[in-house]
Each structure stands twice: as C-alpha cells, then as structure tokens.
C-alpha cells in the first residue's frame, strides 16, 4: 500500500487551519493537522514544496521510518515549522493504519488505560464577579477542572480574558496588536482572585491558571508561593522555557505544580525539565511536537519521572489534532488533563468527527482510524484570513513576552 496523493488544505471556519490529506493507491485516506497559528502558510508551503513530493510512492504503513526520514533527512532538524509538518504526515499515517486494521488508533497504541479523558475548560471575565459566574457555568456543563483567568485592575489587556463579555480570541488582524502589561499589578491581584473562587466553589474543583510566559523565575516563585493556600492543579507557563534551568528557582520556593510545553516541538525542549523533575505536567501537542509518534516518546520519558501529560488543546488547533490527542490521552499510563474548548459550528461542520464530550470527559472515536475527516468542498467556502497573535509592552514601552 503506497501513498498515491497528498494535498494541503487551508481553510478558515472561524480560525485558520492547515490540514494534510494523504491518499493511498488503495483509496484509503488519512488526515493530519498542520496548523501553526500566525505562521500557517509557512507550514503549508513547507509541506507542499518540500514534503509532499517525498511522500508519493512511499509505503504508507512505514510510520516510524517515514518519521525518521523526514526528521533526519532534512538536515535542518526541529523547529516549529518542520515539526508541525512532520506531525501532519505522522498523524495522517496513523489514521490510515487504523482504517486498514479496522481499529480506532488508541487500540494500536496499547488500548485503553482509562474510561474517559478528563478535560478542563476556560472560565474568564474582566471582573471577579463575572469570573465566578463563568466558573459556575462550566461546572454546570459538567467540567471537573477549570482554568481561571481574570482581568487585572489597571491593565487593559489581561491574557485569557475576552473583550465585552466575548470568548477570548488572541489572533486578530494581520499585523499584531500591541497590548499593555504590568507584572506587579498582576502579582498583587491574582491571590485575591483565587481566594474568592475557592471560597465560592470549595476544595473539590480542580483549578488551573495560565501565566503565559510573562514572569521571571523569581516572580513566578512568588506567585506560586502566594497561590499555595488555594491548591491549584497547576500553574501554567510561568516563565519562558528556553532557559530550562530557570525552573529550578521556581521549584526551590513553591510546591504549586507547574505545567509547561505548549510551544515545545521536540523531546529536547523538555528533557531537562522532565529528568530533573522541574515540572509536573508537560503540555506538548500532537500537531507541534512531531505527531503521535514523537509525542508518545515525550510522554514515555515523562512517565519515568512522575510527570503527567496535560496537552494544549485550544481552538487554535483543529479538530483533527484534538481527535488524535484523545487517542493518546486514553492510552498512556501517565495522563493528567486535556485542554478543551468547543469549536464554533462552522469548524465542526468542516471537520466531521465522532469524539464526544459528556460529564467532564472527552471520549475518543470508536471508528477505525482517528474518527475525524475534512469536508473539502465545505472547507473551500472559508478562505484563509491573515490573523496574528499580539505582542506585549510594559508601561514604559519595553517589549515583553506574550
């Protein structure tokens, strides 16, 4: 069974998505997500110009060999564009393998390790009162874990908080917006936010918070220490992760669990963090970390060091990525949590799928393969729309991490 065709599909049913569809000479198809927010066309071009020509005529069942061929053969290894492109190929080949075997992909990964995948939703508001109402809404929907993001007095643009009561959407116009930021005001405000959330909802609900890389290690340590009374499940992305040893300072000062990794694209990005037990959850994704094949390697390494999975899963990743993630989530022994935001109706229509949400859990498809596809005719009705992620500046104009 050889690869006869591979095509790249770019569509924007509310968000820009890039999808690779592989077709075998037997007519079996597989899909893989290749979305890299703000750099979608770079991956689409990489696939079209450099990867698709290499795929034609290759054996579709040689997933590991193809992964190594694309990773080692390019000479220029790693990086978000390369690893996202490899991920798309890898995911599509797992989809094909499942369809040929007549089994959902999780069965090929060793079968179930749990009945369902615990997910967390996003509660957010500009005010604490609004936030409490949104947390209550998520709990009423069945969520057992909730990420808490709140506006900061005196800061116009707080991460994770939508404008005018709307859901948060960071990707805006083609030219990045420039937002303001003040770390001291944020550090002062957040403990009182979590005090009120815990007082309102008690100790049972799992609470999470995303710093989004905005602090220094000593500032992150201060925040983690101040949030200890409220028993967060995790504090996400407290600092930029390029300097992995910076997490040692955070670890020395707080017992608040740390999650990081949505921007990681290889096992080397998190090797030190995992082997030195500097984090508690690794948030790498199928689409940005080299596909099912490579992400499973990351989770296997993490398992040896008591680090659990907590994969990124916002609507900036397509339903193809979420479907693939659920097959991994349900099969690995060290699963922690899975991020989940429901997609708009247009995206659900473009990507028909059979995974489902119930009682705070997502359940992977039982259909052969991943259980997701792309309606190419419908996708063509939603052309690409340039949309860039914002940048941050401090009050004196200094560029800051987003």
Determine contact, residues 322/313, Cβ cutoff 8 Å.
yes
Determine contact, residues 110/329, Cβ cutoff 8 Å.
no
105-111, long-range: CB < 8 A, 24+ apart: 105/292, 105/324, 105/327, 105/364, 105/369, 105/370, 106/326, 106/327, 106/328, 106/330, 106/331, 106/364, 109/292, 109/296, 109/327, 109/328, 109/331, 109/332, 110/331, 111/331
Residue 156 CB contacts under 8 Å (≥ 6 apart), including other chains: 179, 180
Work out the number of other CB atoms within 10 angstroms of the CB of residue 378: 15
What are the distances in angstroms from CA 45 to CA 34, 85, 119?
Answer: 11, 10, 33
Tokens representing 98 are 């499942």
Q: Which one is catalytic: 212, 213, 312, 327?
A: 212
Compute the distance between CA of residue 359 and CA of residue 372 in angstroms, rounded to an integer: 22
Compute the distance between CA of residue 131 and CA of residue 82 in angstroms, rounded to an integer: 39
Of the candidates 229, 188, 223, which has an alpha carbon nearest to the alpha carbon of residue 209? 223
Compute the distance between CA of residue 64 and CA of residue 66 in angstroms, rounded to an integer: 5
| SS3 (DSSP) at 50 | helix
Q: Which one is catalytic: 71, 106, 120, 159?
A: 159
Please report where in the chains the tokens 């997502």 appear, as a residue.
362
Compute the distance between CA of residue 239 and CA of residue 247 in angstroms, rounded to an integer: 8
Compute the distance between CA of residue 225 and CA of residue 68 in angstroms, rounded to an integer: 43
Compute the distance between CA of residue 84 and CA of residue 396 in angstroms, rounded to an integer: 36
| SS3 (DSSP) at 59 | strand
Compute the distance between CA of residue 185 and CA of residue 191 in angstroms, rounded to an integer: 11
Q: Examine the residue annotation and report whether 327 is marked as an active-site residue of this protein.
A: no
Q: Examine the residue annotation and report whether 303 is marked as an active-site residue of this protein.
A: no
Determine contact, residues 265/283, Cβ cutoff 8 Å.
no
Instruction: Name the residues annotated as catalytic.
Output: 159, 212
């Amino acid at each position: 069974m050889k690869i006869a065709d591979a095509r790249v599909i770019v569509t924007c049913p509310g968000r820009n998505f890039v999808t690779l569809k592989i077709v075998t000479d037997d007519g079996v198809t597989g899909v893989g997500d290749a979305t890299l927010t703000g750099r979608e066309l770079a991956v689409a071009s990489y696939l079209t110009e450099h990867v698709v020509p290499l795929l034609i005529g290759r054996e579709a069942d040689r997933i590991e060999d193809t992964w190594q061929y694309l990773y080692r053969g390019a000479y220029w290894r790693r990086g978000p564009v390369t690893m996202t492109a490899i991920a798309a190929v890898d995911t599509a080949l797992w989809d094909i393998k499942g369809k040929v075997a007549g089994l959902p992909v999780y069965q090929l990964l060793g079968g179930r390790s749990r009945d369902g995948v615990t997910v967390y939703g996003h509660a957010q508001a500009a005010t604490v009162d609004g936030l409490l109402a949104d947390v209550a809404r998520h709990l009423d929907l069945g969520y057992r874990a909730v990420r808490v993001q709140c506006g900061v007095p005196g800061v116009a643009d707080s991460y994770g908080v939508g404008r005018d009561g709307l859901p948060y959407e960071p990707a805006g116009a083609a030219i990045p917006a420039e937002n303001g930021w003040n770390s001291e005001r944020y550090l002062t405000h957040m403990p009182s936010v979590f005090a009120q959330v815990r007082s309102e909802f008690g100790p049972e609900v799992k609470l999470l918070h995303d710093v989004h890389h905005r602090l220094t290690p000593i500032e992150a340590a201060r925040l983690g220490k101040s949030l200890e009374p409220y028993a967060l499940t995790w504090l996400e992305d407290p600092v930029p992760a390029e300097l992995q040893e910076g997490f040692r300072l955070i670890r020395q000062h707080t017992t608040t669990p740390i999650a990081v990794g949505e921007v990681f694209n290889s096992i080397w990005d998190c090797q030190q963090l995992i082997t030195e037990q500097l984090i508690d959850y690794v948030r790498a994704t199928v689409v940005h970390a080299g596909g099912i094949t490579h992400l499973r390697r990351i989770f296997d390494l993490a398992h040896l060091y008591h680090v659990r999975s907590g994969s990124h899963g916002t609507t900036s990743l397509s339903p193809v990525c979420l479907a693939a993630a659920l097959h991994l989530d349900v099969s690995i022994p060290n699963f922690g949590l899975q991020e989940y935001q429901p997609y708009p109706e247009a995206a659900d229509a473009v990507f028909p799928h059979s995974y489902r949400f119930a009682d705070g859990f997502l359940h992977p498809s039982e259909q052969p393969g991943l259980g997701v596809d792309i309606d190419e005719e419908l996708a063509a009705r939603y052309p690409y729309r340039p949309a860039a992620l914002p940048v941050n500046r401090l009050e004196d104009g200094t560029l800051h991490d987003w």
